[in-house]
Amino acid sequence: MVRSINKKYTKTPVYTCINILLIITLLIVNFSCSKIEDGDEHCPEGYSGKSCDEQIAPDSIFVTEINVTRFPATNLQGDNWDATSNADIYVEIWKNNEQIWVSSTVLQNVPADTNYFFIPSDTLALTDPMAQYAIHLYDQDEDGESDYIGGLNFISYTDDNGFPEWMILDERGEVAFELNLEYSWE
């Protein structure tokens, strides 16, 4: 008689529902734990790992603003950049000895003791974030020639930089810049 009660009890709809709910609960717990272990599901953009402390290299870094913070008031000979006025400055960005961007704006007759901002009208994307880039500052002359004022080499991303909004390029030389950056992960 005990045997028939067991068979009867194990075949009830309540027992089947309990088994199904138990299986669903175990599957949910299993999948939710695996996402947390992977780390990517709960981390902010650009980070991964169990503690969200591993940076993910961006696919592109966009320069949205360039700030010229320092340049010399005179050329190497000690003369004004232009015969009768201050420098007429513009910026170029280079990668592997190839110009990838030039400012469409030339700021006219600017003294060296002020910051000057260049906002790219075209997208300025650094598509190889770990490559070496160069930023150059020039003085445009009336005859169409340009005088090199100075420049710096830089790498736009390192795996421990914390994705700064502003990158300061300053080696305490003649020129210094700040770049406003945005990051993209495709």
The per-residue pLDDT string of the chain (186 residues; one tens digit each, 9 = 90 and over) reads: 445 444 554 556 655 656 666 566 655 544 443 344 444 568 999 999 999 999 999 999 999 999 999 999 999 999 989 888 899 999 999 999 999 999 999 999 999 999 999 999 888 999 999 999 999 999 998 877 899 999 999 999 999 989 999 999 999 999 999 999 999 998
pLDDT at 126 (0 to 100): 96
pLDDT at 38 (0 to 100): 46
What sign does the dihedral 103-108-113-116 (CA atoms) show? negative
User: What's the predicted TM-score (pTM) here?
Assistant: 0.75
DSSP summary character for residue 21: H
Both structure tokens of 127: 């598509």
Biggest CA-to-CA distance, the chain? 115
Instruction: Name which of 69, 109, 91, 67 is nearest 149 in CA terms.
Output: 91
pLDDT at 11 (0 to 100): 56
Q: Which residues of 48-69 are buried (b: 16+ CB within 10 A; e: fewer)?
A: beeeeeebbebebbbbeebbbe
pLDDT at 32 (0 to 100): 44
Report the alpha-carbon distance of residue 46 to residue 60 in Å, rounded. Answer: 12
The owner of tokens 């990517």 is 40
